[in-house]
Amino acid sequence: MNKLVTSLVMGACATLLAVAAPVASAQSNWENSTFTVTEPLDVGGFVLPPGTYLIKVVMLQSNRNTIQVTNTEQTKVFANVLCTPHPIREGEVIPSSRYIYYSDSAGRPTALRTWFARDTPNGQDIVYPKRRAMELAAAAKQPVIAIPDEVKEAQYETAPITVVTPELEVKSYEAPAPTIIAEAVPAKKLPKTASHVPLVALLGFVSLGGALGLRTLISRT
């Protein structure tokens, strides 16, 4: 009988692990894409050689994140750069994955401006070191989000963020207000972001209670 109780408890634990593992995996792998470049690509000041890469979001704060670029096996990191949210604006249609670039500057690699992951309510605008941001702003005639050249990865959460205008003026960065358009992404494809922790905990208590009750019943008989 004791073996029966032990087997039931182990089975309940295995069930809980099976439920929890896919939930954690789905949440951590939500915003990512695999992409191939055929010529050098600048991502936040890191120049990627031609090849196939995995790009994913690493959450930091509400107004800034980081984008990490690795090989497809995620065993080697090629770039870890700061980015800011790019809310979907009216009229934008987000396909499964989209990459927007700055206009080419003479003699320099193409630079990634914004990346939209699949089925997400916003994109990510890439932040560039100030010197590179000035080059891009002048060449593309667009504002470029920037951080001081000397900022290191460990300082991404607190580094001051500015915007370099096409006139090469440096202005304070203001996080855009969310302007999510419901029609931009089909509702049935939106990822589930609600936490499954309460459900997993409830299942744990129910399974444990059932095992203890069965053990008590067996002891009495």
Percent of the chain with pLDDT over 70: 64
CA distances from 191 to 26, 31, 34 (A): 9, 10, 18
**Which region among 67-76, 187-196, 200-209 has the lowest average model confidence (pLDDT)?**
187-196
- Dig out the tokens for 217 from the structure: 């019943």
List helix spans (H) across 29-157.
130-140
Q: Where in the chain are the domains?
A: 1-27+193-221, 31-190
- Dig out the tokens for 152 from the structure: 């290191």
Where is pLDDT greater, at 30 or 214? 30
- CB of 130 within 8 A of CB of 144? no
Sequence-ordered list of residues with C-beta below 8 angstroms from that of 157, at least 6 positions apart, any chain:
60, 61, 64
pLDDT of residue 213: 53
Is residue 1 over pLDDT 70?
no
Q: What are the residues facing 41 on neighbouring strands?
A: 48, 110
Calculate mean pLDDT across residues 67-90. Answer: 93
93 confidence band (pLDDT: 50, 70, 90): confident
Phi, psi of 26 (to 5 degrees): -65, -40
Calculate mean pLDDT across residues 104-120. Answer: 85
- Dig out the tokens for 185 from the structure: 């992404």
Count of CB atoms within 10 A of residue 46's CB? 13
Mean pLDDT of the chain: 76
Is residue 130 over pLDDT 90?
yes
Is residue 209 over pLDDT 70?
no
Where is pLDDT greater, at 19 or 82? 82
127 confidence band (pLDDT: 50, 70, 90): very high
